[in-house]
């Protein structure tokens, strides 16, 4: 049972400044990623497309993001987070500039694809910096703070972006955002160091076979698989609303004004910013409680989505606000998946394992965003039918997470019986497999 803990007793003020600089890159990435949440209707008019084609923007962007997570993890482990963050800013800025001048659907898709590539390089890089600069006991809290800061970018992409699109318009707004992003490259080059002792990680050549072996080794770890399904199940419900379908659902499906709808999306931002430090601090103190916490959250989500989908007529604000606040905790809960990847993988492989985990939520987001667009087309615009795909995917992901939860527990108990140290002590429960059967389950995992 491997642990990814660096030999760092206490993070320095310089390490906190380095992390904050890198985290601001993530703030920019989240702003660019979520800008279509309020620009979706303008994009539909600008490019002359319907719901299914509009959904393709998010499917493409998030699909690129998901497909790039494992390669990003490998790149970060090899070339270091500083270099990868620099590349991320170039792609993010270029994609947004291209979107600003795009006047055709094909060019708009290309722009969002480039932006998705830049977005894909960001979060794993920031988490690897955190793993390099902070001790294990602080990692979960720093990860939660990263997510909370990222939602500042989300907040900027709600009402402020709506007002900018209504004022200066599409071209000046997205052009300025792209140029500011590219200029931030200079700050990253100046402030960010890969480790407390070196500015840049020394790159070591590796063959395709060695890279493949590293990926497969991380994939075989039950904690990595559990992290994947935890991330898959917890965050996509919030993502599909924030990234694309929230405003159309509230405006076209519920009859709210566009400004009211974009303001309601801010509930996700505020909830996530509050929930991140709360979840991170609690799990950092009691890591053994992290999976029961996830299970309780998923059960709550099943109830929330059932209420939203079955509500007769227009859903009142008194129901939407607390429902969105609860859904917003999906982002903070998803960070538990990264803690699992870090705990059960050695530090040189943490980037790869983190990339694998980060695939989960964005694969789910891609599936859900596409399904909603298609179901809206075939159902004549029924959001109740379309959003039913979110509940179905939630139940599927929860089932797979429970399967790997049991297998990961079996692997931990088997490691304890072999006399190995484990990152988190857990108690046996009546439903845990025992004896030879546990060995078989752990080996199969």
Separation CA 282–CA 299 (nearest Å): 19
Distance of CA 228 to the CA centre of its chain: 11
The dihedral of CA 67, 94, 198, 128: what is its sign?
negative
Beta-carbon count within 10 A of 67 CB: 17
The domains found in the chain, sorted by start residue, are 13-197+207-444 (1.20.1250.20)
Beta-carbon count within 10 A of 203 CB: 10
- Given a contact cutoff of 8 angstroms between Cβ atoms, the answer to whether 2 and 224 are in contact is no
Looking at residue 208, what is its pLDDT? 66
Separation CA 341–CA 217 (nearest Å): 12
Residue 344 in tokens: 């059960």
Helices 290-310, 222-240: axis angle to 10 degrees equals 30
Helices 36-47, 105-120: axis angle to 10 degrees equals 160
Separation CA 389–CA 385 (nearest Å): 8
Looking at residue 203, what is its pLDDT? 57
Beta-carbon count within 10 A of 211 CB: 16
Looking at residue 107, what is its pLDDT? 92
Partner residues linked to 195 by β-bridges: 198
Q: What are phi and psi of 442, to 5 degrees?
A: -65, -40
Separation CA 120–CA 201 (nearest Å): 20
Separation CA 329–CA 217 (nearest Å): 31
Q: What is the pLDDT along the chain (445 residues), one digit of tens a residue?
A: 555 444 555 678 888 999 999 999 999 998 888 787 677 778 888 888 877 777 778 778 777 888 888 888 888 888 889 999 999 999 999 999 999 899 899 999 999 899 989 999 998 899 888 888 888 777 778 888 887 787 777 677 767 787 888 788 888 888 988 999 999 999 999 988 887 776 666 656 566 677 778 788 888 889 899 999 999 999 999 988 887 788 889 998 898 888 888 788 888 878 888 888 888 888 878 888 889 999 999 999 999 999 999 999 899 999 999 999 999 999 889 989 988 988 888 777 878 888 889 889 888 988 998 899 889 989 988 999 999 999 999 999 999 999 999 888 888 888 777 777 777 777 777 777 655 454 555 455 4
Q: In which residue are the tokens 């955002």 written? A: 177
The dihedral of CA 271, 121, 111, 361: what is its sign?
negative
* Per-residue model confidence as pLDDT tens digits over 154-164: 677 767 787 88
Separation CA 143–CA 123 (nearest Å): 10
Separation CA 220–CA 3 (nearest Å): 15
Q: In which residue are the tokens 């920019």 written? A: 28
Looking at residue 5, what is its pLDDT? 46
Looking at residue 425, what is its pLDDT? 75
Q: In which residue are the tokens 């992390």 written? A: 19
* Per-residue model confidence as pLDDT tens digits over 291-304: 999 999 999 999 99
* Per-residue model confidence as pLDDT tens digits over 370-400: 899 889 989 988 999 999 999 999 999 999 9
Partner residues linked to 198 by β-bridges: 195
- Given a contact cutoff of 8 angstroms between Cβ atoms, the answer to whether 350 and 131 are in contact is yes
Residue 127 in tokens: 């988490």
- Given a contact cutoff of 8 angstroms between Cβ atoms, the answer to whether 29 and 61 are in contact is no
Separation CA 40–CA 37 (nearest Å): 6
pTM over 0.85: no
Distance of CA 337 to the CA centre of its chain: 10
Looking at residue 41, what is its pLDDT? 74
Separation CA 365–CA 385 (nearest Å): 17
Distance of CA 275 to the CA centre of its chain: 15
Looking at residue 95, what is its pLDDT? 92
């Amino acid at each position: 049972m491997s642990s990814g803990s660096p030999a760092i007793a206490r993070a320095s003020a310089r390490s906190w400044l380095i992390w904050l600089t890198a985290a601001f890159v993530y703030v920019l990435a989240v702003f660019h990623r979520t800008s279509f949440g309020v620009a979706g209707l303008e994009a539909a008019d600008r490019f002359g497309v319907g719901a299914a084609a509009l959904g393709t923007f998010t499917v493409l962007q998030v699909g690129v993001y998901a497909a790039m997570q494992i390669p990003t993890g490998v790149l970060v482990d090899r070339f270091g987070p500083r270099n990868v963050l620099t590349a991320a800013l170039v792609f993010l800025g270029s994609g947004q500039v291209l979107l600003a001048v795009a006047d055709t659907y094909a060019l708009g898709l290309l722009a969002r694809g480039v932006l998705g590539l830049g977005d894909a390089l960001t979060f794993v890089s920031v988490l690897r910096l955190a793993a390099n600069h902070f001790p294990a006991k602080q990692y979960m809290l720093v990860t939660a703070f990263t997510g909370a800061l990222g939602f500042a970018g989300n907040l900027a992409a709600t009402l402020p972006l709506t007002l900018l699109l209504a004022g200066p318009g599409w071209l000046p707004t997205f052009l300025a955002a792209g140029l500011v992003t590219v200029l931030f490259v200079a700050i990253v080059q100046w402030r960010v160091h890969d480790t407390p002792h070196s500015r840049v990680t020394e790159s070591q050549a590796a063959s395709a076979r060695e890279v493949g072996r590293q990926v497969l080794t991380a994939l075989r770890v039950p904690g990595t698989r559990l992290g994947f399904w935890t991330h898959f199940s917890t965050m996509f419900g919030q993502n599909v609303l924030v990234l694309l379908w929230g405003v159309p659902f509230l405006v076209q499906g519920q009859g709210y004004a566009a400004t009211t709808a974009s303001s309601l999306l801010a509930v996700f931002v505020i909830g996530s910013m509050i929930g991140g430090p709360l979840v991170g601090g609690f799990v950092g103190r009691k890591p053994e409680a992290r999976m029961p916490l996830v299970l309780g959250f998923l059960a709550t989500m099943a109830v929330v989505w059932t209420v939203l989908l079955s509500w007769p007529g227009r859903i009142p604000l008194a129901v939407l606000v607390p429902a969105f606040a609860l859904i917003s905790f999906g982002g903070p809960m998803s960070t538990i998946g990264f803690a699992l990847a870090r705990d059960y993988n050695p530090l040189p492989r943490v980037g790869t394992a983190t990339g694998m985990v980060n695939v989960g939520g964005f694969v789910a987001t891609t599936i859900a965003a596409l399904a909603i667009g298609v179901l809206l087309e075939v159902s004549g615009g029924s959001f109740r039918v379309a959003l039913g795909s979110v509940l179905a995917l939630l139940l599927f992901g929860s089932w797979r997470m429970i399967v790997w939860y049991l297998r990961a527990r079996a692997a931990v108990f088997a490691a304890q019986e072999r006399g190995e140290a484990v990152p988190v002590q857990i108690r046996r429960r009546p439903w845990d497999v025992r004896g030879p059967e546990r060995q078989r389950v752990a080996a199969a995992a």
